[in-house]
Amino acid sequence: MSATQLKVINAVAFQLCWFACVLGGSLWALPAVLAFMIWHRKVATKEEWLFISVLSLSGIALDTLWYQLGVFSFDNYTMPVIPAWLALLWLAFSATLLHSLHTIFSRAWLIVPLAAISAPVSYYAGQKFGALTLGPDALWIISASWGGLMLAAYFAHSSNIIPTFSSPTEREKP
């Protein structure tokens, strides 16, 4: 399979996971993300899993902080951490950065503003679908924190602080 085909499959699989998580909650999230991770296991390097784990845990911690501070909330949910569907969505998203989003992620000047724009749009869409409720300043907070998180992830990857080596889709030059 070509690198382009792998990127397309990665992007489509993530979008399916996004809808499964946001629309289906924890009921659909686990099977969707599990299927994506099983497929992703075939294309990811062993080292990439460390990057995915660190970014996922960072995103889960960040969203848990925002949830605890009331930046966003979930109806009929009282646990101290974010719901499983949102944690699983972080896992799925983290598996895109070195594949379908690699062209964007490999350029800090591109990933930071795009993350700062697209992340609030994604959370806003989640609110429109009834998955969460955003507080009054949520979009600004999400924008700033996602821009910062993607900048940190970019530097961790590009400086090899978190070694990922090359994934199959990174090896083929555009």
The per-residue pLDDT for range 123-151, each reduced to its tens digit, is 999 999 999 999 999 999 999 999 999 99
Per-residue model confidence (pLDDT) at position 174: 41
Per-residue model confidence (pLDDT) at position 81: 97
The structure's pTM equals 0.90
Q: Is the pLDDT of residue 113 over 80?
A: yes
pLDDT in tens, 47-99: 889 989 999 999 999 999 999 999 999 999 999 999 999 999 999 999 998 87
Per-residue model confidence (pLDDT) at position 165: 53
Residue 39 CB-half CA count within 13 A? 18
Q: Is the pLDDT of residue 169 over 70?
A: no
Q: Is the pLDDT of residue 168 over 60?
A: no
pLDDT in tens, 2-38: 888 998 999 999 999 999 999 999 899 999 999 999 9
Q: How far apart are CA 86 and CA 73, in angstroms?
A: 12
User: How is residue 165 written in tokens?
Assistant: 């080596």
Q: Is the pLDDT of residue 172 over 80?
A: no
Q: Could you tell me if 33 and 41 are in contact, meaning their C-beta atoms sit under 8 angstroms apart? A: no
> How many CB atoms neighbour CB 11 within 10 A?
14
Residue 164's pLDDT band (cuts 50, 70, 90) = low
Give me the DSSP letters along the chain.
Answer: --HHHHHHHHHHHHHHHHHHHHHHHHHHHHHHHHHHHHHHHHHS-TTHHHHHHHHHHHHHHHHHHHHHTTSEE-TT---SS--HHHHHHHHHHHTTTTTTTHHHHT-HHHHHHHHHHHHHHHHHHHHHTTS-EE-TTHHHHHHHHHHHHHHHHHHHHHTTSS-----HHHHS--
Q: How far apart are CA 114 and CA 150, in angstroms?
A: 10
Q: Among 29, 10, 11, which residue's Cα sits nearest to residue 19?
A: 29
Q: Among 68, 75, 65, which residue's Cα sits nearest to residue 132?
A: 75
